[in-house]
Amino acid sequence: MSRLPNIAIDGPAGSGKSTVARAVAQRLGFLYVDTGAMYRAITYLALKQQIDLDNQEALGALAKGTRFSIVHFSQSGSISIWCNGEDVTPYLRNWDVTGGVSRVAEAAEVRCYLVRSQRVFARSGGVVMEGRDIGTVVLPDAEFKFFLTADLETRIKRRALEHCGDGRSIDTEELRRQLVHRDETDSNRTVGPLKIGSDAIVIDGTRLTVDDTVDRIVTLCQGRVA
Ligand code: DC
């Protein structure tokens, strides 16, 4: 039996890629891997262990010693992330985790260990993996590569809605600052920066619904998957 293809979906924060990637995986019966959640998990563990987020050596050691597993809920298509036997999912969207994660994602050693774990998840194919460097670094041989964009205002609105869903009050200006700052650090770091791969299909989701974007991706991939 031939191996199922892998699908890489990259894009900036708030571009809708998590929602889209999860839905694509569910439609195709693939495993969904949210690599941002893995960087968030290391950030959460570092904060819990009071590791200085500028101490790249200590962060690297933490990433090296962290075993990830993904629990997939087939009905909702959602996943939970476990680190060394602890379910860290409830903490990944905490304000302090979101505020600190791009410093952690800058650490080359953290990236090295997480990329290794991400490749293990994709080893047998049949994975939809989303992040910033999936098509360019993690899975350069992925059969399908997409880069999702949306304008800044749309991305701020989407992030605000996500936080509203948590029942928290939102400071939109603070969200804007965080997004702009995260775009900058994600795009300018030396290892695994956010950039559009020359072989990626770019989809601007500013005026598309999630369903439109999912349909587009599934249609493009279907020839190889069916
Ligand atoms: O997609 P997200 O907002 O959950 O990502 C959290 C952070 O992790 C963000 O600052 C970018 C970083 N990240 C990364 O550097 N590489 C990835 N493959 C995924 C996320």
- Residue 127 belongs to what domain range? 7-225
pLDDT for position 166:
60
Rounded CA separation 202/10 (Å): 9
101 lines ligand 1 (CB under 6 A): yes
- How far, in Å, from the CA of 105 to the mean position of ligand 1? 7
Using 50, 70 and 90 to split pLDDT, how confident is the model at 214? very high
Mutate to test the pocket of ligand 1, among 43, 88, 101 (most ligand atoms within 8 A of CB): 101
2 part of a folded domain: no
Higher pLDDT, 185 or 1: 185
Which of 19, 39, 42, 93, when mutated, tests ligand 1's pocket best, judged by the most ligand atoms within 8 Å of its CB?
39
Query: Would you say residue 1 lies in a domain?
Result: no
pLDDT in tens, 165-190: 666 667 889 889 988 988 888 898 88
182 Cα: distance to centroid of ligand 1 (angstroms) = 9
CA-to-CA distance for 209 and 173, rounded, in angstroms?
25
Does a structural domain hold residue 90? yes
Is pLDDT of 223 > 90?
Answer: no
Q: How far is Cα of residue 46 from the mean position of the Cα atoms in its chain?
A: 19
Q: Is the pLDDT of residue 4 over 90?
A: yes
Ligand 1 contact via 213 beta carbon (within 6 Å): no
Question: Tens digits of per-residue pLDDT, 14-55?
Answer: 899 999 999 999 999 999 999 999 999 999 999 999 999 999
Structural domain includes residue 182:
yes
Question: How far is 217 from 42, CA to CA, in rounded Å?
Answer: 30
What's the rounded mean pLDDT across residues 194-212? 94
Query: pTM higher than 0.75 for the full model?
Result: yes
Compute, in angstroms, the gap from residue 28 CA to the centroid of ligand 1: 24
Taking only the tens place, the pLDDT of each residue in 65-103 is: 999 999 988 778 788 999 999 999 999 999 899 889 989
Average pLDDT, the chain: 92
- pLDDT reported for residue 77: 79
Specify whether the CB–CB gap between 105 and 98 falls below 8 A. no
Decide if pLDDT at 226 tops 60: no
> Residue 33 belongs to a domain with what CATH number?
3.40.50.300
Helix, strand, coil % over all residues of the chain, rounded to 5? 50, 15, 35
Q: Tell whether 179 is covered by a domain.
A: yes
- 123 versus 163: the higher-pLDDT residue is 123
Which residue lies with its CA nearest to atom 4 of ligand 1?
36
Phi, psi (rounded to 5 degrees) for 130: -120, 145
Residue with the two structure tokens 């949306």: 150
Is a pLDDT exceeding 80 seen at residue 224?
A: no
Number of domains in the chain: 1
Q: For residue 109, give the 3-state DSSP assignment.
A: helix
Residue 137 in domain: yes
Whether residue 193 has its Cβ less than 6 Å from ligand 1: no
Residue nearest (by alpha carbon) to ligand 1 atom 8? 36
Average pLDDT on 153-162 reads: 86
Calculate what percentage of the chain has a pLDDT beyond 70.
Answer: 95
C-alpha 226 – ligand 1 centre gap (Å): 31
